[in-house]
Structure 1
Amino acid sequence: MAGFMSTTSEIASPQFALEHLQWRYATKQFDPAKKIPTETWNVLEQSLVLSPSSFGLQPWKFLVIRNLELRQQLLEHSWGQKQVVDASHLVVFAIQKNIDAAYVDRYIVRMAEVQQVPVESLQGFAKVVKGFLDQRPSPSDVQAWATRQVYIALGQFMTTAAMLEIDTCPMEGFVPAKYDEVLGLSEQGYASVVLCPTGYRSAEDKYAAKPKVRFATQEVVQNLD
């Protein structure tokens, strides 16, 4: 929001952020009886909407599935992982398959509307974006680029959830083609990429108490001062 400014008391401390990142883990067992409150979910939903992407193109769709009957159908295409059914919400991250000049034009119209500027004033930017897409050797390469953008959104979503003490479990263990079939994604021009069941950990999830296994900081972070 333009002109937004937080007071010091409204800003999470560095320790708060670190503690919540330590608290987060890939939840193996959700408590099916606990649901995310609407006001909390609205923040998580906006974290998806506000996710950054290359050129701001947002080549994605996020399907939020609460319907248990539908999730039961998806379970057999999810390697039997119960998080898909037991979590409060199931989020399916999908890419837009056809990122072309028409898509860019639609985004430019939206940009002009939001920024309250003439569409004509954005044609230079539109040309740059279309040039980038034209340089990709094939549609599959554009889809690979779109997939990388989706993972940015996944990271932002999971980090926001951790700050709110909401549990998540990113999952690639599913059959995308079957998800696309059940959810009708192909007909809409989308393809599923990754899942993220979201909710509250079960008290019986033994993995919650296990320490994180990470390489030492100095092995993975190189400071060039």
Structure 2
Amino acid sequence: MTTVSKTRRGLQVALDGPAGVGKTTTARGVGDALNLLYIDTGAMYRALAVKALREGVSLDDSEAATALAKATKVQLKDSGGLQVLLDGENVSEAIRAPEASDGASRISVHPGVREQLVAWQRKMARGRRVIMEGRDIGTVVLADADAKIFLTASSEERARRRYRDLEKRGENPSYPVVLQDIRERDARDQGRATAPLKPAIDAVVLDCTALSLPQQVEAVCRVIETKIKLNI
């Protein structure tokens, strides 16, 4: 595979999509293949949700959640694998728990929270070669990204993927419960007033329902290479 090269102001790739579509695995694979720094914005929201749950801050209280975000430091550290630091503590495992994932969806609806985290995310990407994944990267965070890809798949397929992930972590999930959670997440993400989940106008929409994760990585790499060649 050809390595993408663009140095004028770095290279910014926006990867968006709904819960369970495989954004994290895909972004990591693409980052490795094309020598791009991988930034997981969802991990930042999950870390904030972990802190809110620990401190008894209501995930649905906009004012309290915004104040918490302003008083929190979330860092992403790449040291042979992504580490998520919450006020200096490694919470990389804690943020993968179902309650952290659900909490991230709830706390992320607040405009003040999003404003704070978007500022962090833009600072991380400035002048660097990055692939950033989330739900509003191409529409808000990196609206001028060099390449924008929106991954999608049926809710049933995304629930199957999430179910398998939970099994691998030693949990005993229920597929109907996982599917319901996926559908509820979709409704919250697509229906929020601030930065709702949707493809950017200039994004390439990639239906991954019938693709394996390695095939997703390959497809996204091809899109990026094509986009950059057209823009050079």
TM-score interval, smaller chain: under 0.3
Structure with higher strand content: 2
- With the length of structure 2 as denominator, give the TM-score of the two structures: 0.23
Q: Which has the larger radius of gyration?
A: 1
